Amino acid sequence: MQYEVVFAGFGGQGVMIAGQILAHSAMEEGYNVVWLPSYGPEMRGGTANCSVVISDKLIASPVVPTPGAAVVMNNPSLEKFGATVRPGGVVIINTSLVNLECTRTDIRQVPVAANDVAIELGSGKAANMVVLGAYVGATGAVSIENLKAFMQKKFAHKPQFVDLNMEALQAGYDRARAAMQEEK
């Protein structure tokens, strides 16, 4: 078993923390994990992405030229990474900010209005947790329970964010599971 995913967006959208939480959650489940960040020149507002590889075997390389999934938070990320997902893979698309059409028919597309959902829950800053939950809901890479447990650890020093982020993870997970059921 091996999962590869690229989380991509503008700096400040929380793609790095989403990848870290996924990676640590997978480690908690006993998997081998690699997390590889990549920042654009400006950090906040520039481009940012990270790759996460989760495997039950040794991982040969952290570089993922054709991932099984991409989580795209903005138009440039869809343009760059949507094309790299291997056939049969999945792309989680933040439809709150992505207004481009993904024309690929050989992948599953999971549209999630992550910013809108996060705002409804209380803060647009939780959009990254919405798409992280959607990724797990679409792929089953880790259990939602372990994801939530690690997220609680990660934000233990900021308890005011725990409930919001838990709700955001669950909302994204539920939306992806519903989208997967609609495909059947």
Per-residue pLDDT of the chain (184 residues; tens, 9 = 90+): 999 999 999 988 999 999 999 999 999 999 999 999 987 665 555 679 999 999 999 998 888 899 999 999 999 999 999 999 999 999 999 999 999 999 999 999 999 999 999 999 999 899 999 999 999 999 999 999 999 999 888 888 888 889 999 999 999 999 999 987 776 6
| pLDDT value of position 184 | 61
109/93 Cα distance (integer angstroms): 7
Which residues, including other chains, have CB under 8 Å from residue 105's CB and lie 6 or more apart? none
Per-residue pLDDT at 22: 97
pLDDT at position 55: 97
Smallest CA-to-CA distance from 83 within 101, 110, 104, 68 is with 104
3-state helix, strand, coil in the chain (%, to 5): 45, 25, 35
User: What's the pLDDT score for residue 45?
Assistant: 59
In the block, tokens 């989380």 appear at 7
pLDDT value at residue 40: 67
CA distance linking residue 79 with residue 102, whole number of Å: 8
Residue 42 is predicted with a pLDDT of 53
**Four-way CATH pick for 2-183: 3.40.50.620, 3.50.50.60, 1.10.3720.10, 3.40.920.10:** 3.40.920.10
pLDDT score, position 183: 67
